[in-house]
Structure 1
Amino acid sequence: MRNFFLATLALLLAVAGAGPAWGEGQATVPTPAAIDGYLREALDSTGLPGMSAVVTHGDRIVHAVGLGRDSSDRAVTADTPMRVASVSKSFTAAAVMSLVDEGRVALDQPVVTYLPEFRMADPRASLITVRQLLNQTSGLSDRTVDIGATQRATSLAGYLAALRHGTLAGEPGSHWEYCNVNYDVAARLVEVVDGRDFTGAMRDRIFGRLGMGTSTVGNRAVRPSDGFISVYGAWVPRKELPGFRGGAGGVITTASDMGRWLISQTGHGPQVLTPGSVAVLHEPPPGTDYAMGWGVEVVEARKLLVHSGNLFTYTAVQALDPATGFGFAVMTNSASLHDDTYDILLGLVALTDGRQPATPGGGRQMTELVLAVTALVAFGLGILGVRRSGRWARRRAGRAWWWTALRLVGVLVPAAMFATYPQWVSVLMNGRAVTWAQMTYFPASLTITLAVAAAAGLTTATARLARLRSVRSTP
């Protein structure tokens, strides 16, 4: 629900059948002490409850570390399980590409070739190719499928069944739109072609081959502690919002395991894909900056491959720097209106450039301070409005009803905004599905502030109307 993803950057000099040109020069390999020092400063300045991070270079983990505490007051370490949300998409894409390498899937074949159960009310769905799923150019959209029904599913097969009445937002391949459905359909494709459930397929195709022994999809093998949400600057432990998470956001992993993953994505260490398939994963189609679970963006005049992940109590980001061969991942056991993980990652990138990283933090604290002050002002105005309702009524006793109604509109605007809260947030997020339950998690401070303002307005309006009725009925 915050910007659910951060698409980023990549310098990919790839041709068919050849991997990207990964460089290992023009960079400073920071010491573990330097990384620790920066991350401790970042933890203090952001006020995050817990965080883990890893930096890799070439074929080695430079440093993996955990800082802070979890919701059970245990120390976070490099081996603490973390939910990585949409960072999962790069893993799902790799699983699909492993089937491509085996000749069992072709990227430009329709999905229904391998997944006959994938049916929608829109006949164009039969034209969606595997490549379009992974590039998020399929036409699938939160605006045209029943996201609520998909989140009630208990399996990937049930998830696909929930799509039956959905339609597409456009012709397959005609435009890019970020939609989790693409990657949950891709996960079901992996299940059906591989012949095992998605958890087992990911374990044997990706995690096992890379030595990622603590990583899984879902909660079967590893269950993270509850994460935190920020409420006016205070971290409150809370269970993750229930909902189906498969190929789009179901991976649970650690900083140590993420180090092994990043190394493999730079063409070093154990491999799960051919160099050509890794290059395809990293290269966006023409006209977009989103490849397959990796985005492309320029940072400090250099292209990086990046993908972020945002759940409701966990946040993560990963990045690769093809020019220098560095990999980075930052994971936190918290979520708020302001995402600090990307800022922390940029600091790690600065260290590898030999630059002094900027101290991250302050955005969350300032945002929630403003919201707290706004809530207090709204509460005070509500009390003042009730106390002055008699004077307001006497001044308008002789006016026409429509004039009085106009004078009440202003105090009822917050109530109208609160009543339509999920709808206008959805509009601001380009049609992404939004529910009331989601609004009680990372945007809790905003939700409470809007609720206070709405209550203050409704109370004031009610008091004014009651006093007006009393004044008009008095002889």
Structure 2
Amino acid sequence: MRYAVANSTLRNHGAIPKYVGTKAAGLIVEAGQIDLDTPVKQYLSEFTLADNKTTDQVTIRHLLNHTSGLSDRSFSESLQPQPTTNAERVDSLHQAHPVAAPGTQFHYFNPNYDVLARVVEVVSGQSFAEYLRSHIFTPLQMSRTFHATTMAEAYQRGDRIATGHLMAFAIPFAAPELSGYLGGNAGVISTAEDMAKYLILHTNKGRVEGTQFLTPDSIALMHKPPPQLKSPYAMGWFVTTENGRTILQHNGILSVFYTDVAVLPNEKYGIALLYSISTMPLIAFALPQIKTGLIQLLTEQTFPPDSFSINLWGISLAMLTAIGVALAIRSLLHLSQWKRNIHTTPKWQIILSIAWIFSPLIVVLAMPWLVGIMSDRIFSYMQLFRAMPDVMLWLSLCAGLGSINGTMRLIACANNRQS
């Protein structure tokens, strides 16, 4: 049993409990309290979707594998009023319309795990946090780990939570985590050392220090995507093959915290990386290199070459912002000249020029849906601004100046037609 951990301090960090929540469900399954292929409705009578037929078909297995047929595209949970309990989240899903029949498509949908957390509460008679504490954290000696349903609760209970950070133009700055619901899809507050203890469970077929917490068959089931679908997701883990090695991995993203966890079951390595910063360019380009580099170092004893510079990213975004603002100001300064040329400029050219000026505003307004098209996930404007402050600042400045410029040109065109 081997593991690698990385952490700048021993203070608590926010982490995503998808894989922890899966173990909670696995324990209840092994105890005979629930069945993976039984409809959720049999355990939660209040579980109701916008389509009654789909409601009756969604099973525990569908929730665990994110194949419930629900998606952010039909129920953008980040844009909904935030619940404060798992029961409230379940109640809110009566507005959710399925985008596919259960068991036919993979769509990553956080409320799937909120419903699972509520099932654990109802079946066990304990709160989700208490069930995790008594059945997972305490037996595994994860003494510095707890679960919070809301971020306000996390800060109240965690007296040593690390200071989180955002980043703009490659400059990190401290910021508080967004207050809101964490539920069953997020909210485990832990340390890298404690997470390493949990990863041993997955590298050693459910056995830790002589105790069999889950059967090898249950662990194997958690590590295998549903065979009937072309899905990489296996009950809390994305299963990939890199250089001939099977890797189970999942990240956890809050607005100022980021977690990356990987398991190499055949080599018996586990890696837990907890960061007190969360920003799109790091998550997309830099932080995966750290995980990949550790895997390469552990398995091949070699270092991968450097390939991404966050400083170059920051300089590039700063230059784009400066250029965008300069061009917008230049266009405003040339407005009087543009007005004089209205009579001699073809109408199609005027229309195209004004439309182009408004394009940054259109991009900003459409950003949640553009991200949704690319990622199948919908995020609020606040989440997007915190995830990439420099990109959103660049677009917002161009959008604001462009809106002023475009509005003045539309007024000029209207006055010209009246005259």
Find the residue that maps to 1:252 and give its secondary structure.
strand
Cα offset, 1:363, TM superposition: 4.6
Q: Given the alignment of the two structures, is residue 227 of structure 1 paired with residue 164 of structure 2, yes or no?
A: yes
% identical aligned pairs: 29
Cα offset, 1:121, TM superposition: 2.1
Find the residue that maps to 1:236 and give its secondary structure.
strand
Distance change in 2, residues 1:162/1:469 (3 Å): closer
Which AA in structure 1 matches 2:381? W
Aligned mates of 1:184, 1:414 — CA distance in 2: 36
Q: Deviations over 1:333-366 (max 9, x none)?
A: 1011121332111111111123322255735333
Corresponding residue for residue 49 of structure 1: none
Aligned mates of 1:151, 1:243 — CA distance in 2: 10
Corresponding residue for residue 108 of structure 2: 178
Alignment of 1:57-96 (within 5 A): 58=1, 64-67=5-8, 76=9, 79-85=10-16, 88-96=17-25
Corresponding residue for residue 249 of structure 1: 186
Aligned mates of 2:393, 2:184 — CA distance in 1: 33
Structure 2, gaps ≥5 residues long: 149-153
Distance change in 2, residues 1:138/1:400 (3 Å): same
2:97 corresponds to which of 135, 155, 167: 167
Find the residue that maps to 2:93 and give its secondary structure.
coil
Contact kept in structure 1, 2:5 and 2:272, CA below 8 Å = no
Corresponding residue for residue 151 of structure 2: none
Aligned mates of 1:188, 1:303 — CA distance in 2: 32
Contact kept in structure 2, 1:393 and 1:465, CA below 8 Å = no
Contact kept in structure 2, 1:151 and 1:244, CA below 8 Å = no
Q: Deviations over 1:38-60 (max 9, x none)?
A: xxxxxxxxxxxxxxxxxxxx1x5
1:458 corresponds to which of 403, 406, 415: 403
Contact kept in structure 2, 1:294 and 1:306, CA below 8 Å = yes
Q: Which moved more, 1:457-466 or 1:319-328?
A: 457-466
Corresponding residue for residue 101 of structure 1: 30
Query: Which of the pair is proportionally richer in helix?
Result: 2
Aligned mates of 1:370, 1:463 — CA distance in 2: 31
Which AA in structure 2 matches 1:294? W
Q: Deviations over 1:392-441 (max 9, x none)?
A: 221223557665333322222112222322232222222x2221111220
TM-score, normalised by the number of residues in structure 2:
0.89
Corresponding residue for residue 392 of structure 1: 338
Contact kept in structure 2, 1:150 and 1:244, CA below 8 Å = no
Cα offset, 1:115, TM superposition: 1.5
Contact kept in structure 2, 1:215 and 1:222, CA below 8 Å = no
Aligned mates of 1:213, 1:143 — CA distance in 2: 39
Corresponding residue for residue 283 of structure 1: 224
Cα offset, 1:466, TM superposition: 6.1
Q: Which moved more, 1:358-367 or 1:111-120?
A: 358-367
Distance change in 2, residues 1:465/1:210 (3 Å): same
1:132 corresponds to which of 62, 65, 69: 62
Contact kept in structure 1, 2:11 and 2:162, CA below 8 Å = no
Q: Deviations over 1:178-217 (max 9, x none)?
A: 1111111111111111101010000011111100011111
1:378 corresponds to which of 324, 340, 346: 324
Aligned residues: 402
Aligned mates of 1:391, 1:413 — CA distance in 2: 22
Alignment of 1:329-344 (within 5 A): 329-338=272-281, 339=283, 340-344=286-290
Aligned mates of 2:406, 2:292 — CA distance in 1: 49
Contact kept in structure 2, 1:290 and 1:296, CA below 8 Å = yes
Find the residue that maps to 2:106 and give its secondary structure.
coil
TM-score, normalised by the number of residues in structure 1:
0.79
Contact kept in structure 1, 2:202 and 2:265, CA below 8 Å = no
Distance change in 2, residues 1:189/1:150 (3 Å): farther
Corresponding residue for residue 155 of structure 1: 85
Distance change in 2, residues 1:221/1:209 (3 Å): farther
Cα offset, 1:469, TM superposition: 7.5
Corresponding residue for residue 326 of structure 1: 269
Distance change in 2, residues 1:409/1:150 (3 Å): closer
Corresponding residue for residue 437 of structure 1: 382
Distance change in 2, residues 1:360/1:204 (3 Å): farther
Cα offset, 1:387, TM superposition: 1.7
Aligned mates of 1:137, 1:468 — CA distance in 2: 53
Structure 1, gaps ≥5 residues long: 1-57, 68-75
Contact kept in structure 2, 1:214 and 1:222, CA below 8 Å = no
Q: Deviations over 1:27-86 (max 9, x none)?
A: xxxxxxxxxxxxxxxxxxxxxxxxxxxxxxx1x55x54532xxxxxxxx2xx3211113x
Aligned mates of 1:317, 1:259 — CA distance in 2: 12
1:112 corresponds to which of 41, 44, 58: 41
Which AA in structure 1 matches 2:50? A
Aligned mates of 1:427, 1:363 — CA distance in 2: 27
